Amino acid sequence: MESIAELIYVVLDLYKWCLIAFVIMSWLIAFNVVNTYNRFVFSVNDFLYKITEPALRPIRRIVPNLGGVDISPVILILIIWFLQRLLERNFL
């Protein structure tokens, strides 16, 4: 059971880093630092969007619009952090 909990912990940690990379990438695109016409940038952004959007969409439905500021990634990171701490206390 402990090895499954460790695997879940690592997967949650990787997902958290993908979420952080998606947020940074969206900022870079919004401020026109990187261009999505570049095939590599487009591929990375598309991959990160497809991974993170299914988890962010339900949070965006619940959280009210704050006028251009999207706090759903912060909420998702807090949820992941809570789940990791729960795994640490009960299984690791």
The model's pLDDT over 10-42, given as tens digits with 9 standing for 90+, comes to: 999 999 999 999 999 999 999 999 999 999 999
The model's pLDDT over 63-80, given as tens digits with 9 standing for 90+, comes to: 988 888 899 999 999 999
**Average pLDDT of every residue of the chain:** 94
Q: pTM score, two decimals? A: 0.89
pLDDT of residue 92 exceeding 80: no
**8 close to 79: Cβ distance less than 8 angstroms:** no
- Domain extent for 82: 2-90
* Integer angstrom CA distances of residue 29 from 41, 52, 72: 9, 17, 18
Domain count, the chain: 1
